[in-house]
Structure 1
Amino acid sequence: MSSRQCQAEIAIMRMIKHPRVVQFYEVLASKTKIYLVLELVTGVGELFGLLVKEKGFGEDKARFFFHQLVEGVKCCHEQGICHRDLKPENLLLDEKGQLKISDFGLSSFHDSSGEVTLTSSKMMHTTCGSPNYVSPEVLDGEGYDGRKADIWSMGVILYVMTTGRLPFDEPTTSELFAKIQTASFTFPKGVSGSFKDLVSKVLVVNPRERLQLAEIQESPWYRAAQASAN
């Protein structure tokens, strides 16, 4: 990580104070190294590890974690911050089984004026994130709204948490990106109609037509009775 990237990550993490985000405490430096002092998360580790162990959570447990993910990302976006690398490996679970968003190394600021669509001069142009979770507009390389890209990644995470498999998972990068850029995916048997409806409205190629966080929170699936994670 470059010095500039490190400074940006420190600035971003200083801003975010929320139970669903790993907390930043201070920075220490020597002549050759920089040390970030972060909250100690002493749970089972990454959400990814639990997903692999349980091979998917089903809808109730996925909803439990998705609520917390939405709360954390909403706080970031309200502070003018886009994470840009949301994936189960960057979601930690504490000793109470509560989710915490981590790793802001690829994060960036966006215009926080409240505009839904950014003008071209305010749009991001850096291709980043993990291939299976990256949004179509990031791959296009013509500029994107980082908030919309985060929401796409959240849709992929929701699909993975519920079903135990990726919506876009091909043997080659070119095939994978082709699927993502056309939002070509299917649902396994047994998932609810309200789950299909929500995911289908989040994994939308055109970011202008993609649900916003407030709309996700108003969806029938999101508003269904929340079950315990246990």
Structure 2
Amino acid sequence: MSVKVPSTRTRVGKYELGRTLGEGTFAKVKFAKNVETGDGVAIKILDREQILRLKMVEQLKREISTMKLIKHPNVIKIYEVMASKSKIYIVLEFVDGGELFDKIASRGRLKEDEARRYFQQLINAVDYCHSRGVSHRDLKPENLLLDSYGVLKVSDFGLSAVLSKQVQGDGLLHTACGTPNYVAPEVLKDKGYDGTGSDVWSCGVILFVLMAGYLPFDEPNLMGLYRKICSADFAFPSWFSSGARKLIKRILDPNPVTVSSRAHPCYCF
């Protein structure tokens, strides 16, 4: 008679680890089940030794404290943080609809109504983060997740800045970071930048990508890309409505004199 051996799943606290959802340079994200409630969560697993070696302790602390500060329906929730001798575990809300990026990659451009719906959710989340003194600094479709109801969730606060702690004497941020195609011109110029305005620029690029199915600024050569960004050298596809064109033009404004107004445009179209 064969005896069925029960499968042993790895447990971390009250969570039973399951499949891998994603893997990055510094972390692995796994699906897990809360054995007490049966609810699914996502657990970001980081190697302590690697975090120390790469001097990422402060960045990780900032990411965790920032996420604890942000409680908004369009931002990924953080539930708890645990640690073992070798690993750090960040327990997050599980979002089952994948990245917004995947949706564009598989379907191409979205209809304006659908793009508008996602953009409004993104702007609501970003506006809330700014009201709490937080600048995300790496907004892009890969960091926007969707749940099964189509609700957008902003994730990955690894490059975020808490403005009260990280601005310098001139009231500006000075660390250039983000993903090149989505970065605002003032971030590239190395003279300091307003984190709220640079986030909104990234939102404008995202809106263009949602509606066009491709990037407004895209060059194989980095210097060529930066030149295009700094002069806002892009063209609208024929199918963009006049309202969408007007809003994107207002957001993707590289003029340093008017950049402060970018942080507070009317976001409707």
Matches within 5 A, 1:51-62: 51-62=104-115
The match for 2:243 is 194
Change (3 A) 1:67 1:207: farther
The match for 2:128 is 75
Matches within 5 A, 1:56-135: 56-111=109-164, 121-135=170-184
The residue identity in structure 1 corresponding to 2:117 is F
The residue identity in structure 2 corresponding to 1:9 is E
CA RMSD of aligned residues (A): 1.6
Change (3 A) 1:31 1:121: farther
The match for 1:226 is none
Matched, 1:159 2:208: yes
Match of 1:3 among 57, 67, 70: 57
Matched, 1:33 2:80: no
Q: Equivalent pairs: percent with the same residue?
A: 48
Higher relative CO (Cα under 8 Å, sequence separation at least 6) belongs to 1
Match of 1:21 among 68, 75, 87: 75
More helix by share: 1
Q: Which runs of 5+ in 2 are unaligned?
A: 1-50
Contact conserved, 2:174 with 2:192, CA < 8 A, in 1?
yes
Contact conserved, 2:181 with 2:215, CA < 8 A, in 1?
yes
Q: Secondary structure at the match of 2:128?
A: helix
TM-score by length of 2: 0.76
The residue identity in structure 2 corresponding to 1:39 is E
* Shift, 1:111, TM fit: 3.9
Matched, 1:178 2:232: no
Match of 1:140 among 164, 189, 196: 189
Q: Secondary structure at the match of 1:141?
A: coil
- Distance in 2 separating the partners of 1:119 and 1:174: 27
Change (3 A) 1:49 1:207: farther
Contact conserved, 1:148 with 1:207, CA < 8 A, in 2?
no
Once the two structures are superposed, residues 9-44 of structure 1 have per-residue CA deviations (whole angstroms, 9 ceiling, x without a partner) of 11100000000000011100112221111001112x
More strand by share: 2
Contact conserved, 1:70 with 1:213, CA < 8 A, in 2?
no
Q: Which runs of 5+ in 1 are unaligned?
A: 113-117, 222-230
- Distance in 1 separating the partners of 2:264 and 2:233: 25
Contact conserved, 2:197 with 2:263, CA < 8 A, in 1?
no
Matched, 1:216 2:245: no
- Distance in 1 separating the partners of 2:137 and 2:67: 14
* Shift, 1:214, TM fit: 4.4
TM-score by length of 1: 0.88
- Distance in 2 separating the partners of 1:195 and 1:160: 12
Contact conserved, 1:120 with 1:143, CA < 8 A, in 2?
no
Change (3 A) 1:121 1:33: farther
Greater C-alpha radius of gyration: 2
Deviates more, 1:207-216 or 1:58-67: 207-216
- Distance in 2 separating the partners of 1:110 and 1:196: 31
